[in-house]
């Protein structure tokens, strides 16, 4: 009789061990899937920002006395500080910011996430402020209208406010609002990348845009980015069945 009891106990322990191993395996697979999706998101964001970063590097080369790889712009030559500050800070903001969307990277390097976050806040504020500075200081670029001028002021101010509110939220320990406001600020900061796509699409569909058409295409990029950001922020939680599956992985 004792043998039977011991056998039953061993079978029960083995069953629990097997269930534990299966849960650990499912959890590892789910985590790997999440990490893979995060890396794909980071890669997509870097790709979206590639052309503006490349043009920014060309402009810095020109202002440093190198080859003129872009059409000369007397506005920048006369007062280079705001555009240099804008390009350098935007490069740091877009590149470091892209890696904040990779959960596996954040999880393995929490110290890096916090240090990068502090630098992102600083650079994000400087990107917005230097963008407002250029809008107010430089004469409007030929081929752009008052609508784009107003939108640059609006979205530049919105970026500064978003990044500041994200910083204020994390200082209070409010991770949810911190995430939401930083995503909004990052979406506005990526506007230049999306503008390449909206202007190119509009030109392919209907030819070179008018001044108003160009302003609308450029403005559409910020609207699209913020719409995607709001979707990501407000995305509903997993349905009950999926939530239960996730609960079983814990």
pLDDT in tens, 195-231: 999 999 999 999 999 999 999 999 999 999 999 999 9
pLDDT of residue 243: 43
Q: Which residue has the tokens 């500075």?
A: 133
| pTM of the predicted model as reported, rounded to 2 decimal places | 0.80
The count of structural domains within the chain is 1
- The Cα–Cα gap between 154 and 103 comes to 31
Q: How many CB atoms lie within 10 A of CB 186?
A: 24
Q: Is the pLDDT of residue 247 over 50?
A: no
Range 53-68 average pLDDT: 91
């Amino acid at each position: 009789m004792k043998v039977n009891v011991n056998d039953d106990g061993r079978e029960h322990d083995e069953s629990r061990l097997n269930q534990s191993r299966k849960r650990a395996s499912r959890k590892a697979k789910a985590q790997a899937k999440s990490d893979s999706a995060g890396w794909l998101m980071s890669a997509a964001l870097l790709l979206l920002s590639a052309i503006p970063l490349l043009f920014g590097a060309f402009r810095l080369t020109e202002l440093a006395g190198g080859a003129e790889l872009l059409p000369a712009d007397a506005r920048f030559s006369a007062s280079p500080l705001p555009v240099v500050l804008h390009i350098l800070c935007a490069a740091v903001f877009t590149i470091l910011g892209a890696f904040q969307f990779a959960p596996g990277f954040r999880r393995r390097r929490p110290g890096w996430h916090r240090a990068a976050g502090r630098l992102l806040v600083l650079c994000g504020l400087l990107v917005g402020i230097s963008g407002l500075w250029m809008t107010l200081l430089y004469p409007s670029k030929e081929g752009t209208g008052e609508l784009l001028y107003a939108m640059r002021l609006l979205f530049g101010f919105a970026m500064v406010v978003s990044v500041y509110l994200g910083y204020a939220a994390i200082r209070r320990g409010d991770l949810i609002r911190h995430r939401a406001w930083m995503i909004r600020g990052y979406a506005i900061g990526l506007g230049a990348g999306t503008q390449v796509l909206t202007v190119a699409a509009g030109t392919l569909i209907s030819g070179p845009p008018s001044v108003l058409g160009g302003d609308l295409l450029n403005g559409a990029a910020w609207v699209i980015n913020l719409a995607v950001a709001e979707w990501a922020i407000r995305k509903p939680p997993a349905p009950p069945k999926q939530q239960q599956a996730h609960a079983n992985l814990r």
